[in-house]
Amino acid sequence: MTRKLFNAISFRIAIIFSLSTVIILMIMGLVIHQLVMHHFETQDRTQLEGKIQLLENLLEQNPANSQELNIYLKDALVGHHDLIVQIERPTGQIIFSSAPALIKAQTLIKSKHTPWLEWKIQNKTYRGLAYKKSFNRNSSIPTAQIIVGIDTSEHLHFLNDFRRQLLYIGIVGTICLMFLGWFAAWRGLRPVQKMAKVAEGISAQHLSERLEVENTPTELRSLAIAFNDMLDRLESAVEKLSDFSSDLAHEIRTPINNLMTQTQVCLSRSRDINTYQEVLFSNLEEFERLARMISDMLFLAKAEHGLHLPNLKQVDLVKEVSALFDFYDAIAAEKSISLEQKGYGVVNGDPSMLRRALSNLLSNAIKYGKTESVVRIKTQQNFDTTVFTIENESSPLTSEQLSRLFDRFYRTDASRQRVEEGTGLGLAITKSILDVHGATIRADYHNGRITFKIIFKN
């Protein structure tokens, strides 16, 4: 329980907030304390300097140490019970003292950073000034030493009470601010709790939930957007995986059903050797098709875990396409499809892999191209890219179909009927090969023609 409390963000914020508050309050307390002390010192000094001037005037007006002078000095201190005065004239001869005891020079302690003198009399602390006055205008008046002090007990008592009150206020304020900090953090983290609640309801079967971004705090908005984007990617990946599973089952079921049907029919009664050979040849075709499918799936699995390109060379795309034209020329002639290419381009890559990728694209264009049409290939060499395009006439395709052309086993025919022979993995393999080469490919449909555009980085 204690460890859980210490790991709570709200608790950590409250502690940090409280420590910051304590430091700020301590600094404020010290500053206020110094200001109050400075105020008392200024007030005391003003009062004492005023008394010194008054005493100087009395001494100057009364050059003799008479009883009358003593009365005047006593009258000057009326109403100032916290003041004490000791006058020596000449120095060493005390003519007046209102202190409880005589102030001895050795008891005076000079402050290091101020002109104040400090001393103690009968457990009371006094702070004052010592001033020697010579009367130059009247040389008959001897030099006098005036010691004026003020009882600081009330000041110290006030400061002690003030510090105590500051301490109490600081403790209560820190506790209140700690609670408020925890409450504010708890309220501020409520959107995170909502995120957790949404995340708890997400599973492979329920990926449609999304976090609300509009009312999310600014600090968490980027997290909410990233979380929603992640859910979009997961939903798309799960959907593709589901489609892949059903497509894979469909693609494998067809050749296996063919094998089972042909074998069952062949075994239903005795047949001659030629019939058995025909059945075996037919079965061999289905086995070869299954082998190609498994080989393509293994290639895609390797591509997902990162293919290596050990045989990197400069590949002339024009020469590769010319070689493919020679190979597919007869197949294109059966559908009266013309093959054209123009341009020039050289890229860095694995020749066999790139040949397979381009072969898949050309084979696809011939298989699904319209009869008596033209398959056009264009290669363009730029400063930092090489662009390869192949286009052919095609039946209309929607934007959704174009976006899924590179998915495994995806067919634009919703009925899944195999019009042309193939494993349905050609375009997926092509994209994997191009991804390994750092190239991008996209498909566009415009004015009855579908265009595959590959961009290689030089």
Question: So what's the pLDDT on residue 4?
Answer: 57
Is pLDDT at 161 greater than 60 in this prediction?
yes
Tens digits of residue pLDDT in 206-222:
777 777 777 777 777 88
CA atoms within 13 A on the CB side of 48: 27
Inter-residue contact 409 to 418 (CB < 8 Å):
no
pLDDT in tens, 127-157: 788 777 776 565 566 777 888 888 877 778 8
Instruction: Write out pLDDT tens, residues 327-376.
Output: 888 888 888 899 999 999 999 888 888 888 898 899 888 988 888 899 99
Rounded CA separation 446/393 (Å): 10
Domain segments of the chain: what residues? Answer: 1-200, 216-300, 308-455
415 pLDDT higher than 70: no
Q: Which of 120, 98, 95, 116 is nearest to 107 (CA)?
A: 120
pLDDT at 308: 65
* pLDDT in the model for residue 417: 46
Among 147, 139, 118, which Cα is nearest to 52's?
Answer: 147
**Does 416 score more than 60 pLDDT?**
no
* Cα 403 to chain centroid, rounded: 32
Q: Which CATH superfamily is domain 308-455 in?
A: Histidine kinase-like ATPase, C-terminal domain (3.30.565.10)
Q: pLDDT tens across 217-250, in order?
A: 777 788 888 888 888 888 877 777 776 677 667 6
Asked if 426 contacts 364 with a C-beta cutoff of 8 angstroms, the reply is yes
Q: pLDDT tens digits for 302-328?
A: 666 666 666 788 989 999 999 999 888
Position 179 pLDDT exceeds 60: yes
Burial class of 160 by CB neighbour count within 10 A (0 to 12, 13 to 18, 19+): exposed
Count how many Cα atoms sit within 13 Å of the Cα of residue 77 in the half-sphere of its side chain: 20
